[in-house]
């Protein structure tokens, strides 16, 4: 699943592992030099001593070069490609998740935790651990070769005890980091409110800067105190094994000298044994730290794997990669739709059934929170219903596979402000036109037509959008017109308009409804609107209340209905204009 460059991986592994046999070889040469020096008397030649010393110098140089030059270069490269890969995999996966999953706080929490995984940290800790383990094994073998089983066993036991305590401490720290994910998000939210453009006006007008800074500081202090308590408790727990390790060094060095049969050892043997033991004890804390780090990293990989295993979307409206030649008009029939948001106490959509035949313009109305946007997401296949089905048919009543085959388009209430060039912004509405192979002139002509139909005055296709990116800043209504142009570019048989005029001025709104009639000529459409005057334009109006469909019919039929909800809402709105 990871795309990795093999060369830096191989170079880093080879250089770190090459350094493993160098240490025992250096010790052996030290022993040889000491023995030869001891046996040397003037005026014997010193060639043997010089040769051993030269070999020692050469080994040290090889070790320094292997670890000092290629390994850091390879590791730097690994940091770079590792973090890019992790991000690519997470973004890729997120793009394939169903909308309900992306919106779920639990999934967001898991994504944030999965984002803490680091290929570089894992590879680095794994290699260090392998290097230290092999080196320790060689040093232990040297000790055992001299019959030093007591120091060898004592070192192993102390290391195992320390590793167990440190591993648990590391797991505890990692669990705390997991638990703090949500508070961490709140902390970022406070910081965003204080620094991002979207909230700047309200924060200043209501003088919220001080309050937000105070809340940020209090939360930061709480998180920092929790972390400090965990660090302190881990440090205290490790104190015992740390003291044990430190107090072992002296007695073990003495044990080497006092062991039975020590009188047969040469000075070189003593030098080798003492250096081997000192090196072994010296590298133990690092070995323990790396083993503990591996335990924490394994927990992050659990989160990463859990995120990668999340169920992916299927049957949604996108992606449609073929040419945008949808059936001329498509229809839909929804039966028994039921949907509840995760953790909600009641269904947002409760047993809804409706039919919009090919070529029909329908309107969906209802009070705030009645479930209109949720229903649109169910009909477009962005949410999977808990119960019920949405069936799509073409003009000849042939069953289509889903919203993807039907070719649907939509202008959403919470449309996206894509800060690209004008061309890049609108062309994303059509996969076929966004493809690199699409003929540029044809695409530009289609873009201009879509912009004109959407009522946008912007014409320079190369203009960068978004002041944050050094471009022009369209007004809210202009952004909405761009979203409409994007939706119109897709030659869809069914278009959803979810409050497409919320950001428009009265003239633009009137034009938008005229546009609705024009662009839905020969297509099917569902218009979600609070402007009941505009709902009059629809062939059929559906009224939603508390997630249930309570009325349907034409404007006139619904107005005639005694005690009807639509009539009540229409008359309330009309009273304002009377």
Ligand X SMILES: Nc1ncnc2c1ncn2[C@@H]1O[C@H](COP(=O)(O)OP(=O)(O)OP(=O)(O)O)[C@@H](O)[C@H]1O
Q: Give every CB contact of residue 32 below 8 A, 6+ residues apart in sequence.
A: 52, 268
**Among the candidate windows 355-363, 367-375, 416-424, 479-487, which touches ligand X by CB under 6 A?**
367-375
**Residue-wise DSSP of 5-54:** -HHHHHHHHHHHHHHHHHHHHHHHHHHHHHHHHHH--TTS--HHHHHHHH
Q: Does 366 bind ligand X (CB under 6 A)?
A: yes
Q: Which is nearer to ligand X, 290 or 374 (CB)?
A: 374
**Among the candidate windows 37-45, 310-318, 364-372, 379-387, which touches ligand X by CB under 6 A?**
364-372
Q: Does 414 bind ligand X (CB under 6 A)?
A: no
Query: Which tokens sit at 375?
Result: 């229903």
Q: Does 338 bind ligand X (CB under 6 A)?
A: no
Q: Does 374 bind ligand X (CB under 6 A)?
A: yes
Least distance to ligand X from the beta carbon of 571, Å? 19
Q: Does 404 bind ligand X (CB under 6 A)?
A: no
Q: Which is nearer to ligand X, 321 or 368 (CB)?
A: 368
Q: Which is nearer to ligand X, 147 or 369 (CB)?
A: 369
Q: Which is nearer to ligand X, 142 or 378 (CB)?
A: 378
Three-class DSSP category at 454 = coil
State how far the Cα of 85 lies from the Cα of 115, in Å rounded to an integer.
11
Which position among 94, 133, 333, 373 is part of the footprint of ligand X (CB under 6 A)? 373
Least distance to ligand X from the beta carbon of 478, Å? 21
Query: Which tokens sit at 97?
Result: 């998740």
Which position among 15, 128, 131, 370 is part of the footprint of ligand X (CB under 6 A)? 370
Find the binding residues for ligand X in span 495-554 (CB under 6 A): none
Q: Which is nearer to ligand X, 536 or 548 (CB)?
A: 548
Q: Which is nearer to ligand X, 35 or 509 (CB)?
A: 509
Q: Which is nearer to ligand X, 491 or 499 (CB)?
A: 499
Least distance to ligand X from the beta carbon of 175, Å? 28
Q: Which is nearer to ligand X, 28 or 341 (CB)?
A: 341
Which position among 18, 237, 341, 473 is part of the footprint of ligand X (CB under 6 A)? 341
State how far the Cα of 411 lies from the Cα of 496, in Å rounded to an integer.
6
Site size for ligand X (CB under 6 A): 13
* Burial environment of residue 227 by CB neighbours within 10 A (0 to 12, 13 to 18, 19 or more): middle
**Among the candidate windows 41-49, 152-160, 230-238, 361-369, which touches ligand X by CB under 6 A?**
361-369
Going by their DSSP bridges, the two strands 331-339 and 387-393 should be labelled as antiparallel
Least distance to ligand X from the beta carbon of 90, Å? 21
Please, which residues bridge with residue 496 across strands? 410, 526
Are the C-beta atoms of 300 and 324 separated by less than 8 Å?
Answer: no
Going by their DSSP bridges, the two strands 349-356 and 540-545 should be labelled as unpaired
Are the C-beta atoms of 451 and 478 separated by less than 8 Å?
Answer: no
Q: Does 354 bind ligand X (CB under 6 A)?
A: no
Three-class DSSP category at 350 = strand
Q: Which is nearer to ligand X, 125 or 365 (CB)?
A: 365
Are the C-beta atoms of 512 and 411 separated by less than 8 Å?
Answer: no
**Among the candidate windows 148-156, 267-275, 366-374, 418-426, which touches ligand X by CB under 6 A?**
366-374
Strands, E assignment, 357-460: 361-366, 387-393, 399-400, 408-411
**Among the candidate windows 120-128, 202-210, 266-274, 341-349, which touches ligand X by CB under 6 A?**
341-349
Which position among 368, 441, 457, 578 is part of the footprint of ligand X (CB under 6 A)? 368
Q: Does 372 bind ligand X (CB under 6 A)?
A: yes
State how far the Cα of 310 lies from the Cα of 314, in Å rounded to an integer.
13
Q: Which is nearer to ligand X, 333 or 413 (CB)?
A: 413
Which position among 248, 348, 390, 535 is part of the footprint of ligand X (CB under 6 A)? 348
Which position among 359, 371, 455, 500 is part of the footprint of ligand X (CB under 6 A)? 371
DSSP state of 554: -
Q: Which is nearer to ligand X, 297 or 375 (CB)?
A: 375
State how far the Cα of 349 lies from the Cα of 554, in Å rounded to an integer.
22
Query: Which tokens sit at 559?
Result: 């107005």
Q: Give every CB contact of residue 43 below 8 A, 6+ residues apart in sequence.
A: none
Determine how many CB atoms are found less than 10 A away from the CB of residue 402: 16
Q: Which is nearer to ligand X, 41 or 368 (CB)?
A: 368
**Residue-wise DSSP of 76-116:** HHHHHHHHHHHHHHHHHHHHHS-HHHHH-HHHHHHHHHHTT
Q: Is the peptide bond before 319 cis (omega within 30 degrees of 0)?
A: yes
User: Residues 271, 274, 279, CA angle at the centre, nearest 5°?
Assistant: 120
Least distance to ligand X from the beta carbon of 476, Å? 16
Q: Which is nearer to ligand X, 364 or 427 (CB)?
A: 364
State how far the Cα of 316 lies from the Cα of 403, in Å rounded to an integer.
6
Q: Which is nearer to ligand X, 82 or 477 (CB)?
A: 477
Q: Does 344 bind ligand X (CB under 6 A)?
A: yes
User: Residues 193, 195, 201, CA angle at the centre, nearest 5°?
Assistant: 70
**Among the candidate windows 290-298, 362-370, 380-388, 446-454, which touches ligand X by CB under 6 A?**
362-370
Least distance to ligand X from the beta carbon of 138, Å? 59
Q: Is the peptide bond before 43 cis (omega within 30 degrees of 0)?
A: yes
What's the half-sphere exposure (Cβ side, CA atoms, 13 Å) at 427? 20
Least distance to ligand X from the beta carbon of 372, Å? 4
Q: Does 103 bind ligand X (CB under 6 A)?
A: yes
**Among the candidate windows 107-115, 277-285, 365-373, 567-575, which touches ligand X by CB under 6 A?**
365-373
Residue ranges binding ligand X (CB under 6 A): 103, 341, 344, 348, 366, 368-374, 413
């Amino acid at each position: 699943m990871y795309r990795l460059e093999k060369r830096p991986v191989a170079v880093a592994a080879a250089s770190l592992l090459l350094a493993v046999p160098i240490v025992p070889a250096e010790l052996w040469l030290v022993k040889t030099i000491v023995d030869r020096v001891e046996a040397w008397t003037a005026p014997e030649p010193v060639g043997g001593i010089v040769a051993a010393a030269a070999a020692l110098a050469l080994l040290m140089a090889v070790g320094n070069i292997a670890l000092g030059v290629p390994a850091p270069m390879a590791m730097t490269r690994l940091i770079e490609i590792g973090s890019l890969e992790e991000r690519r995999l997470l973004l890729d996966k997120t793009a394939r998740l169903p909308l309900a999953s992306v919106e779920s706080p639990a999934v967001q929490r898991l994504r944030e935790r999965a984002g803490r995984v680091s290929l570089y940290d894992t590879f680095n800790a794994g290699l260090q651990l392998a290097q230290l383990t092999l080196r320790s094994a060689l040093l232990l073998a040297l000790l055992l070769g001299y019959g030093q089983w007591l120091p060898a066993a004592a070192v192993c036991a102390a290391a195992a005890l320390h590793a167990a305590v440190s591993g648990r401490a590391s797991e505890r720290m990692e669990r705390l980091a997991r638990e703090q994910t949500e508070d961490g998000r709140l902390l970022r939210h406070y910081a965003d409110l204080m620094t991002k453009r979207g909230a700047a006006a309200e924060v200043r007008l209501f003088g919220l800067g001080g309050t937000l800074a105070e809340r940020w500081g209090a939360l930061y202090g709480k998180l920092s105190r929790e972390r400090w308590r965990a660090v302190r408790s881990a440090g205290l727990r490790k104190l015992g094994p740390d003291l044990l390790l430190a107090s072992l060094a002296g007695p073990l060095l003495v044990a080497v000298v006092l062991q039975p049969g020590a009188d047969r050892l040469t000075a070189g043997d003593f030098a080798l044994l003492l250096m081997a033991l000192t090196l072994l004890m010296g590298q133990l804390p690092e070995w323990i730290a790396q083993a503990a780090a591996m335990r924490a990293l394994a927990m992050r990989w659990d989160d990463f794997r859990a995120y990668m295993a999340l169920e992916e979307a299927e049957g949604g409206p996108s992606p449609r990669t073929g040419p945008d030649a949808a059936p001329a008009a498509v229809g839909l029939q929804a039966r028994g739709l039921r949907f509840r948001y995760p953790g909600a106490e009641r269904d947002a959509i409760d047993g809804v059934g409706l039919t919009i035949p090919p070529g029909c313009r329908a309107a969906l109305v209802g009070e705030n929170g009645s479930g209109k946007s949720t229903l649109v997401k169910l009909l477009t296949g962005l949410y999977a219903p808990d119960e019920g089905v949405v069936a799509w048919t073409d003009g000849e009543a042939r069953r289509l596979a889903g919203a993807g085959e039907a070719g649907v388009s939509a202008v959403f209430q919470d449309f996206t402000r894509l800060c690209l060039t004008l061309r890049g912004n609108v062309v994303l509405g059509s996969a076929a036109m966004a493809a690199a192979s699409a003929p540029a002139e044809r695409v530009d002509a289609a873009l201009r037509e879509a912009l004109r139909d959407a009522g946008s005055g912007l014409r320079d296709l190369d203009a960068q959008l978004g002041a944050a990116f050094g471009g022009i800043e369209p007004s809210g209504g202009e952004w909405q017109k761009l979203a409409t142009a994007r939706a119109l570019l897709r030659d869809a048989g069914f278009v959803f308009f979810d409050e497409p005029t919320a950001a428009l001025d009265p003239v633009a709104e009137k034009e938008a409804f005229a546009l609705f009639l024009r662009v839905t000529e020969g297509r099917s459409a569902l218009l979600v609107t609070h402007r009941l005057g505009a709902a009059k334009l629809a062939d059929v109006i559906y009224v939603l209340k508390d997630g249930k469909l309570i009325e349907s019919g034409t404007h006139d039929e619904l107005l005639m209905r005694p005690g009807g909800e639509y009539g009540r809402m229409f008359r309330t709105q009309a009273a304002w204009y009377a």
